[in-house]
Amino acid sequence: MQGEVLTAAKFDVDEIRKQFPVLSQKVYGKPLIYFDNAATSQKPLSVIHTITDYYSNYNANIHRGVHFLSQKASDAYDHVRVKVKEFINAAAQEEIIFTGGATDSINLVAYTWGRKFINEGDEIIISTLEHHSNIVPWQMLCEEKNAVLKVIPINDAGELMLDGLRKLLSAKTRFVAVSHTSNSLGTINPVDEIVDIVRKHAESIQHDIPVLIDAAQAMIHENIDVQKSDFDFVCFSSHKMLGPTGTGVLYGKTSRLSQMPPWRGGGDMISSVSFEKTTYNDIPYRFEAGTPHIAGVIGLGAAIDFLNNMDRKAALQHELLLTRHAQHVLSGIAGVKLIGTAAHKASVVSFIIDGVNAMDAGMYLDTQGIAVRTGHHCTEPLMHRFNIPGTIRASFSFYNTLHEVNILGEAVKKAIAFLKR
Amino acid sequence: MNGQRNKRNRSNMAASDIKQTEEEIISDFDLFEDWTQKYEYIIEMGLKLPPIDEKYKNDNYRIKGCQSSVWLNSYEKGGLLYFEADSDSAFVKGEIALLIKVLSGRTPQEIMDAELNFIDAIGLRQHIAVTRANGLASMIKQIKTYALAGINKP
């Protein structure tokens, strides 16, 4: 606890903010306060410049041309695979598949691993906290295969109940897919413990049970070590970790990926094509059909560089400070109720206001220059669990300030005074 | 022949009524300097809109595609269609109040023909229609569906 208090001074927010041009603007005449970081993060100059540089100076298709530009673009693209591998400590760069985003990554696993290995009556386990993108692909698979989807329950604080997981595990359990961090509540799940429980169960039933981690919300905050945690699959999006939209990553253990059939056919994923028979390329290219989002991947590389070059520990401490301060400020306002009060939590604060519609309040905050998200945050089943239609969600990043949180508190008070009549 | 002409005349007359009402709203909104004032005005309108009978607050009357719950009821009197609606969002109620002001008490044909240019003119569309959160487009669609049903009625 002592160390945490000191870090606010150690972490120079003003200096960091200079790297994010979007933050220095006014909205309706008021300084923009960007508290929608769980939806997407803002981009630092280095990422913006890297993308501009690619299109200005070496735009070319990759892995095809013999010419200078193509070689340069291919090198830059391939180099990011190495960067991602190191960032999450994968065993080999072939374990890094570039996708369109975390949603795309999850769908890839459901369509390839799922279609090959899931059979009638098999059981797939997800959790109550999941984003729709870690629910629907599994539902679609279960529908197609007549398999069963089971859901880990949560307690009133918004924490996964591991006893619930233990109860769900059966002789038919074949796959477990859970989020690392909840996008709606900020709950950080005990993913290492989950893997441990699943591994022990798999051993007892003498059947393989891979674990997929949706790390879309986690990657910008946490250090993920896929080998240490023994994850089978990890999915994440570039745009939530300072990079451009339209790009994401699927990490998979080599042993898993090499078992999986291709899903999209096209260029780059083939070894040779004839009208009689096509043979497929090795991983990772087998899963990267067509011209990829080259600028997106190169931009993701710049985002990883940015994260690597900053004091991530101090940044995380700063985010925790903002979160605690926001919880303190908001819970002190009459009529405000925090939703999701997990002990282990990322920089997301979800709340409702008694007698005030969440969207009305969100729009009021917008008039004050404050960007939040309202609604169900693509987690409708989770909202049902709390018996609410949605929340107001403020999500913080390391470039936010305590002063901004104070302004949020004042604006919420004003919103209540205006809307609750 | 005669009836048809009457119908057209009435349609022409009331079409300008819709236009006039839209013009009134536009000039009201011209007084506001920024979006904040417009937002506050719409909320005020919403808070003033009378609630509908609880019996209409069920899924049969609910409009899909809105982040907030919206219930819309329609009834016909003397060849004219009337609307009443409610929502858990004051802002959405304000939007409904604007739509009711323009469209309630018109013939089905007038409602179908209404272009509703005021939504763009008062700067509402740029603030809400781009987001999926707001169901203004769904509300208009539902109102027009009622109107179409009115036209097709034998």
| Helix (H), strand (E), coil (C) string for chain A | CHHHHHHHHHCCHHHHHCCCHHHHCEECCEECEECECCCCCCCCHHHHHHHHHHHHHCCCCCCCCCCHHHHHHHHHHHHHHHHHHHHCCCCCHHHEEEECCHHHHHHHHHHHHHHHHCCCCCEEEEECCCCHHHCHHHHHHHHHHCCEEEEECECCCCCECHHHHHHHCCCCEEEEEEECECCCCCEECCHHHHHHHHHHHHHHHCCCCCEEEECCCCCCCCCCCHHHHCCCEEEEEHHHHCCCCCCEEEEECHHHHCCCCCCCCCCCCEEEECCCCEEECCCCHHHCCCCCCHHHHHHHHHHHHHHHHCCHHHHHHHHHHHHHHHHHHHHCCCCEEEECCCCCECCEEEEEECCECHHHHHHHHHHCCEECEEECCCCHHHHHHCCCCCEEEEECCCCCCHHHHHHHHHHHHHHHHHHCC
Q: Residue B132: pLDDT band by 50, 70, 90 thresholds?
A: low
Contact A360 B43 (CB under 8 A): yes
Domain containing B49: what range? 2-152
Chain B residues with beta carbon closer than 8 angstroms to that of A29: 34
* Domains of chain A and CATH, by start: 2-43+311-415 (3.90.1150.10), 49-308 (3.40.640.10)
pLDDT > 90 in chain A, percent: 90
**Statement: residue B11 has pLDDT above 50:** no
Chain B residues with beta carbon closer than 8 angstroms to that of A389: 68-69, 88
pLDDT for residue B8: 45
**Does the annotation mark A235 as catalytic?**
no
The minimal CB distance from B68 to the residues A359, A367, A421 is found for A359
pLDDT for residue A66: 85
**Statement: residue A48 has pLDDT above 90:** yes
pLDDT for residue B134: 62
Q: Residue A377: pLDDT band by 50, 70, 90 thresholds?
A: confident
pLDDT for residue B40: 93
| The token pair that represents B35 in the structure block | 């979006």
> By the CB < 8 Å criterion, does B90 face chain A?
yes
The minimal CB distance from A359 to the residues B35, B40, B133 is found for B133
State yes or no: ipTM above 0.90: no
pLDDT for residue A8: 45
Query: pTM for this structure?
Result: 0.91
- Kindly name the residue from B14, B25, B63, B66 that is annotated as catalytic: B66
Residues A149-166 have a mean pLDDT of: 97
pLDDT for residue B99: 93
**Statement: residue B10 has pLDDT above 50:** no
Q: How close B89 comes to chain A (CA, Å)? A: 5
pLDDT for residue A335: 97
Domain with residue B66: its CATH number is 3.90.1010.10
**Statement: residue A9 has pLDDT above 70:** no
Q: How far apart are CA A177 and CA A186, in angstroms?
A: 17
Nearest Cα residue to A360 out of B34, B23, B93: B93
Q: Residue A4: pLDDT band by 50, 70, 90 thresholds?
A: very low
Residues A217-238 have a mean pLDDT of: 98
pLDDT for residue A266: 86
If one compares A370 and B117, the residue with the highest pLDDT of the two is A370
Q: How close A374 comes to chain B (CA, Å)? A: 9
pLDDT for residue A358: 93
Chain B residues with beta carbon closer than 8 angstroms to that of A30: none
pLDDT for residue B151: 81
Tally of structural domains, chain B: 1
Q: Residue B133: pLDDT band by 50, 70, 90 thresholds?
A: low
- pLDDT per position as a tens digit, A106-153: 999 999 999 999 999 999 999 999 999 999 999 999 999 999 999 999
**Statement: residue A381 has pLDDT above 50:** yes
pLDDT for residue A18: 96
**Mean pLDDT over each residue of chain B, to the nearest integer:** 83
> How many CB pairs (< 8 A) connect A and B?
40
